[in-house]
Amino acid sequence: MTMNRRDFTRTLAAGASFSAFPFANSFAERPFQEKRLGVALVGLGGYSSGQLGPALQETENCYLAGVVTGTSEKEKIWADKYGISKENIYNYDNYDQIADNEDIDIIYIVLPNSMHAEYTIRAAEAGKHVICEKPMAMNVEECRQMIDACEKAGVKLSIGYRLHFEPFNQKVMDMAEEKAMGKINFIRCGAGYRMGDNWDQWRLQKDLAGTGALGNMGVYAIQGALYAVGENPIYVRAQEFKTIPEKFDETDETVTFQFEFPSGAVANCETSHNASMNYLYVSADDGWIQLDPYSQYGGLKGKTSEGPLNFPQVNQQARQMDDFAACILNNTQTPVPGEMGLRDMQIIDGILSSIDSGGEKVQLENLAF
């Protein structure tokens, strides 16, 4: 992939003027789309119920057309709440029949991580464009299979990296691209939360989650570090810590990792399922930028060495889904494609290798994006 974020954003809306803050007005400026694309959410758990369903009431280029659920009680709840017609409600047995449903253009996979690959591949085989939640899959091989299936079917694949559509984080990306603060030297990024007392949840189970904090929240720290410097890392070192080994017996609790970038910049990152953290800090020759919090759904705050940052709070998920729908309608490339999810899984592999080797420096080669 050689197209950078700015190239992608330029392709978004024909006629929308480009600015240093490309997404700020792009939706208002975007020409009216005659067709709104239908989205079906697969998996009606916390994220679909709390964020994606409501966000699809605010989208302009797409709307909530259907759902796929294994829980029959949820069928009526979602049908009543969002006015979804009966024929657009599927379960895991008749999922593949979605191929015949012209109302549904995009399938959004919001299932436990171990189910991402299978349901993405089946969506592609049904001829539907796909958004898959993070982490993209359980391993690099699954990511490749998902990308191949979408390519073969001629459908687009994107990952639910909502922060690429959020103004404070876009500012960080823009400053990296513009080298607005001179040479970037150091990044700190942390994303984590304290898990509740439910020890049975799938996020603690290796066969359903893959990794623990690393895949769940660590992907935000990986992403933050990479877009803050605007480069892919070439080396990583990592360490793992457990303070409640009996709770985190299958998956990681706290992981720290350090990147080295080709420009000489370094990053120190951390993630946890047992500690709250949510910050991104970038130090450069001529200034600094700090977001805290940086990856929540709302309430983001930021400042630079020049003063406070003031951006509107936006519905990140609505922007993310609208952007993907626009990419389909305009046949442009999404800024958060499957290859980016694959790259992050390659980096997770490097982090795990370093942990396994007792913290040795691991080279990151042939990254996919």
Binding site for ligand NAD (CB under 6 A): 43-48, 70-71, 110-113, 133-134, 160, 162, 202, 208, 216
Exposed, middle or buried: residue 150 (CB in 10 Å: 0-12, 13-18, 19+)? buried
- 35 included as an active-site residue: no
Query: Which of 161, 220, 227, 294 is flagged as catalytic?
Result: 220
Of 27 and 119, nearer to ligand NAD (C-beta) is 119
**CB of residue 110 vs ligand NAD: minimum separation in angstroms?**
5
Of 74 and 247, nearer to ligand NAD (C-beta) is 74
Sign of CA dihedral 287, 166, 217, 361: negative
Q: Return contacts of 197-203, CB within 8 angstroms, 24+ apart.
A: 199/247, 202/112, 203/251, 203/273
Of 13 and 173, nearer to ligand NAD (C-beta) is 173
Query: Which of 128, 134, 156, 171 is flagged as catalytic?
Result: 134
Of 212 and 233, nearer to ligand NAD (C-beta) is 212
Of 64 and 181, nearer to ligand NAD (C-beta) is 64
Please give the residue whose beta carbon sits closest to ligand NAD in the complex: 45
Sign of CA dihedral 136, 158, 120, 201: positive
Q: Which two tokens stand for residue 77?
A: 């709840």
Q: Which two tokens stand for residue 307?
A: 């003063």
With CA atoms as reference, report the closest residue to 311 among 88, 97, 21, 33.
Answer: 21
**CB of residue 72 vs ligand NAD: minimum separation in angstroms?**
12
317 φ/ψ angles, rounded to the nearest 5 degrees: -70, -40
Q: How many CA atoms lie within 13 A of 9 on its CB side?
A: 21
Sign of CA dihedral 266, 272, 274, 277: positive
Of 44 and 65, nearer to ligand NAD (C-beta) is 44
**CB of residue 112 vs ligand NAD: minimum separation in angstroms?**
5
Q: Which 3 state secondary structure label does DSSP give 304?
A: strand
**CB of residue 17 vs ligand NAD: minimum separation in angstroms?**
30
Query: Other C-beta atoms within 10 Å of 263: how many?
Result: 14
**CB of residue 20 vs ligand NAD: minimum separation in angstroms?**
26
**CB of residue 255 vs ligand NAD: minimum separation in angstroms?**
16
- 77 CB-near residues (< 8 Å, 6+ apart): none
- 95 included as an active-site residue: no
Of 52 and 229, nearer to ligand NAD (C-beta) is 52
**CB of residue 331 vs ligand NAD: minimum separation in angstroms?**
25
Distance (Å, rounded) from C-alpha 334 to C-alpha 341? 12
DSSP 5-35: HHHHHHHHSTTPPP-SSTTTTHHHHSPPPS-
With CA atoms as reference, report the closest residue to 272 among 220, 323, 332.
Answer: 220
Residue type at 107? I
Q: Which residues are catalytic?
A: 134, 220
